[in-house]
Amino acid sequence: MRTKLLDLHTGGSESITDITDMCRDFVAEGGGDGLLNVFVPHATAGVTIMELGAGSDEDLLALLGDLLPKDDRWRHRHGSRGHGRDHVIPALIPSQTMVPVVSGRLELGTWQSVALVDTNIDNPSRQVRLSFLTGAG
């Protein structure tokens, strides 16, 4: 198993960050077949595989805003207004995903990208752990 820690800055607003190229570069370094595990060690962010750049990312943020409004209904209260909803995000957008790798290439569909989803405007510094798991032989 090989691992790499990515340090990202997501800014001061809700964001979806495309990390596909970073994932692609990481698995290409060693080549081979296996699984790429993408893990976000944060209680207020998640990772997903989806189409990006055609409005889907904005649609996802709008959907999360509709489902989980940033208001004062949340019991978890600290930080900016409505921050408690950020702690619910990983229940909907998981903290990890797996991508098959064949011959050192991500086996994503034509329009699929790997994305970090971060709605927490209080903490723009994020880490993503990439782990390339290969068979023993």
What is the 8-class DSSP label of residue 30? Answer: H
Return the pLDDT at 50.
97
pTM as predicted: 0.93
3-state helix, strand, coil in the chain (%, to 5): 25, 35, 40
> Is the distance from CB of 106 to CB of 29 less than 8 angstroms?
no
Handedness of CA 66, 72, 76, 82 (dihedral sign): positive
CA 5 vs. chain centroid, Å, equals 13
- What CATH class is the domain 2-133? mainly beta
Which amino acid is it at 15? S
What is the 8-class DSSP label of residue 44? Answer: T
Please name which of 114, 135, 125, 120 lies closest in space to residue 39, comparing C-alpha atoms. Answer: 114
What is the 8-class DSSP label of residue 83? Answer: G
CA 85 vs. chain centroid, Å, equals 17
Token output for 21: 């190229």
Q: Hey, where are the domains in the chain?
A: 2-133
Please name which of 35, 45, 22 lies closest in space to residue 94, comparing C-alpha atoms. Answer: 45
Predicted confidence pLDDT, tens digits, the chain (137 residues): 999 999 999 988 999 999 999 999 999 998 899 999 999 999 999 999 999 999 999 999 999 999 999 888 888 878 788 888 999 999 999 999 999 999 999 999 999 999 999 999 888 899 999 999 997 55
Please give the Cα distance from 117 to 129 (Å, whole number).
14
